[in-house]
Structures are given as structure tokens and as C-alpha cells.
Amino acid sequence: MESYDVAVIGAGPGGYVAAQRCAELGLKTAVIEKETLGGVCVNVGCIPTKSLLKNAEVARLVRKEAKTFGVSFENAALDYAAAVERSRKVSKRLSQGVGLLMRKGAVGVYSGVGSFLSADTLLIKKDDGAEERIGARNVIIATGTRPADIGNIRCDGERIMNYRQAILNPNLPKSAIVIGGGALGVEFASVWAAYGAEVTVVEMMPTLLPGDDEEAALELAKQFKRAGIKVLTGHKLKSAAATENQAAVALEYGADEVSLSADHVLIAIGFRPNTEALSLENAGVATDARGWIATDAFGKTNVDSIYAIGDVSGKIQLAHVASALGRIAAEKIAGRSPAGYDPDLIPHATYSIPQVAAVGLTQAEAEKRGIPAVVGKADFIANGKAIGLDDYVGWAKLVCHAETGVVLGGTVIGPEASEMLPEIALAVRLKLKAGDIAATIHAHPTLSEIVADAAHDAVAKLEK
């Protein structure tokens, strides 16, 4: 039986990054993956959706905006199937890249389903029925999540789909109802609408992107409506059923029931942890009633030698969070002293059209915590690069401590908003002040000047 210092179960953005870091730190490492290296993110998640969104931007340009740039098309054809095919090629290339990283790090790669025989012994069940055992002084669980069943609704992959089925479907729906106004739902809505589909987004909460800056959520809804996307907030899914030609949903809106139908329904809500096949009881690893693995700030479970990272740990479900947790766990196992997980330092981005990105505290959250806050804000309408791009909807907002000027958080909605995040995230982590950003010269013309402009506005308000 081969023995390792660390065995990682799951090779998604948490697992393969953890394995790579363990190998860099001189630990003999193995990774076990039941499907494809790269996990959900690379193969059926964030990477292929971003590929589709790039196609959507091109499609939108061709359909609605080309004349602005002096370009005209006759009989322009938009091939959605080709966009899906391109997204699959992008995913395949990145998955192969993960394989190369594992080989370069001399990480042992096992294909199959990993489970615990004991805290330090794993069983690997391969697709052909063969079994293999390996020993590991430490184990990192990175098995992620999957779409959860919502009541009696069955995702058949035809009329009613979950995100995995939708992202692999080469057929553009003529009409679609998207259940869930979070990042996943609004991104799919952006893609399909850009290709001409009639899309309705249904969200149970009062605004899209629950938990984000409310003003940004309202602005996104406004831009969706301009793009022809119907937005129904405050509507709760009651049921969904497929017929031969359509799918129908019943929604609760206060005391009323609303019925809708479309060619397709996308269920973009509800996830559950992939823990059932792990035989966690053999290792003594505790979970809550729903199967989420409880961990500390370093990913350690109730068993000292076993860690859980990424979505399966119930932390913020984002690929870069999983990667960060993977590095933290690897360094902790290697005897180093990494900083632990802090949700206030986690940036997040929604790649809708327009994009929405944020990090740290919103003004509402600062007020909830009793922190006096000043908000600096700047609009893209005054940004030269945005005007040149003819993409100037939105703004940047910095939330700063009213007494010290320290940047507590920020939100950007508009062109390439996600690319504005690193500067704000660095400011939040290092407790920089609005004046530090304002005093930093930003190249002109760039979209990033919007952050400096928001900082200047915050400084002016702090000086009063």
C-alpha cells in the first residue's frame, strides 16, 4: 500500500491547489478525483460560463451595438452551439493544464471515488470496479457540492435543467425562466438574453444578488429590464413541471399565485455537499444534519489530521475561496503559520452584463455592526475609458470608516468591474485609507481610475 504525507480527495480549485502547495512544501502528496481534473469550476462551472459570457458580449455587440462603432452586418448568424463548443474546448485545455501541474509537482493522481477506511487509510474505487488502498498521515477533503433537489421538482435536462445540464446544452432556448437571482442565475440570463432568448429571472428575496449592495442590485435589475430581461423579485418558487413542449412554474407572490411558462426552466438555487460517499464515520469526522463538514479557520475538522476546504466546508461557495483554503490547509499541515479564513476579506464577482463585484463590508453591513461609515462614489459616465468603450453604465463605491478613513469595503458595477477588485481587496486587507488610494496615481485613461475617483470623493467627505 502506497503511503503519503497528504492525500487530497477532490481535484477542483481547492483540491488541486492544495495538492500543488503541499508538494511545493516538500510533502509527498496524492490527489483523488472521480471525474475530471479541475472539478466543477474548470469543467462545468466558472470557466465555461465565462467563456459563454464572452461569446454573449460579442453576440450583443453584433445584434444591438455594432452600428455605434461604424460596423454593419448583413444576415449575421449567431451560432449558440459554437459558443458552447468553444467553452468545452476552453475547459478541456485548462483541465489538461491541471494535469500538467500535478505531474510537475510529482503529485500522485488517482482516478476514482475516495472514501475513508480509517482516519489514515483511504479506499479508491475505480470506474472499472477495481479497488486500491493508500495511506495518508493527513487528508484534505475537497469534494465540493452538487445541485440539490428542490421539493418534488425533477431536473430532466430537457425542459427543466440544473446548471450542469444547462452549461452543456448546445441548444439556445427561445424562452427561459431562471429560478434564482444570484450570480449563477443572472449570468445565465445574461448569456441567453444576449443571443435573443426571452428570459425571466425569478428571485425570492426583494432584490437580485441577495447580500450584495442593494443599490448595485437595483441597478442590475434596471439594466436587465433595458436588455429585455424580465425580473420578478419577491417571488417564491412553489412548483415546476415539464410538458411535451414547455415547462411551467407556479410562484408565490404574497397571497397570490403567479403562473409562468417557457421553453425551459433553469433551477439556479440550492446546493448540497458531496459527503455521502466519503464514509466519514470511519474516520470520526463530524458533519451537521445536512452533511456540511464543520471546520476551523484553517480548515481543520474535529479530527486533527483531517481538513475540509471549499464548498463542502460550508464556507462561501466560490472557487477562489476554495483555492485560498487549500493553501491555508497545506501550510498548516506543513507546520507553517498561515492567516486563517476571514470572510470579510473575500472578494466576489458576478459576471453578468453589467458585471457586479464587491469585497468587504457594504454600508448596510457597516451600520449593522455599529461602525460609522462614509461612502465615496464615482460614476463610469465620467470615466474617459468607459466613454471610449461606449460602456459607461454603473459606478464604484468605497465604504470607509468615518473616523479613520480606513477602507472597509467596496462595490463596483459596470464594465470589467471584477478587474477593479484587487486594489480594493488589498486596501481592505492591509487596512489602507481612502487617502492612500487617492494618492496613488492611476494611469489614464483606464477603467481603474473609477476606484481613485471614489477614493477622492471619500476623502472630500472625510475632510468635512
Mean pLDDT per block of 10 residues along the chain (464 residues) reads 97 98 98 96 94 96 90 89 97 96 97 98 94 98 94 93 96 97 98 97 98 97 98 97 93 97 97 97 96 97 98 95 98 97 97 98 97 98 97 98 98 98 98 98 98 98 94
Are 123 and 9 within one domain?
yes
- Does 259 fall in a domain? yes
Cα gap 65→390, rounded to integer Å: 9
Question: What residues are labeled active site?
Answer: 444
The three-state DSSP-derived secondary structure of 282-293 is HCCCCECCCCCE
Residue 438: per-residue pLDDT: 98
Number of domains in the chain: 3
Q: Model-level pTM?
A: 0.95
Whether 27 maps to a domain, the answer reads yes
At residue 98, the pLDDT reads 97
User: Which pLDDT value is given to residue 384?
Assistant: 98
Residues 98 and 59 placed together within one structural domain of the fold: yes
pLDDT digits (tens, 9 = 90+) for 421-462: 999 999 999 999 999 999 999 999 999 999 999 999 999 999
pLDDT tens-place string over residues 189-218: 999 999 999 999 999 999 999 999 999 999
| Alpha-carbon span 81 to 98, nearest angstrom | 26
Which domain covers residue 223, as residue numbers?
A: 160-269
Could you tell me which residues come within 8 angstroms of residue 44 by beta carbon, excluding any fewer than 6 positions away?
91, 163, 164, 167, 168
**CATH code for the domain of 277:** 3.50.50.60
Alpha carbon 150 to chain centroid, angstroms: 21
Considering 234, 269, 304, which residue would you say is the last residue of a domain?
269
Given 231, 249, 269, which residue is the final one in a domain?
269
Dihedral class, residue 419 (left if φ above 0, else alpha if ψ from -120 to 50, else beta): alpha
Which of the listed residues 318, 343, 368 is the one where a domain comes to its end?
Answer: 343
* Whole-number Å distance between alpha carbons of 125 and 113: 5
pLDDT at 89: 97
Q: Which residue has the cell 460579442?
A: 58
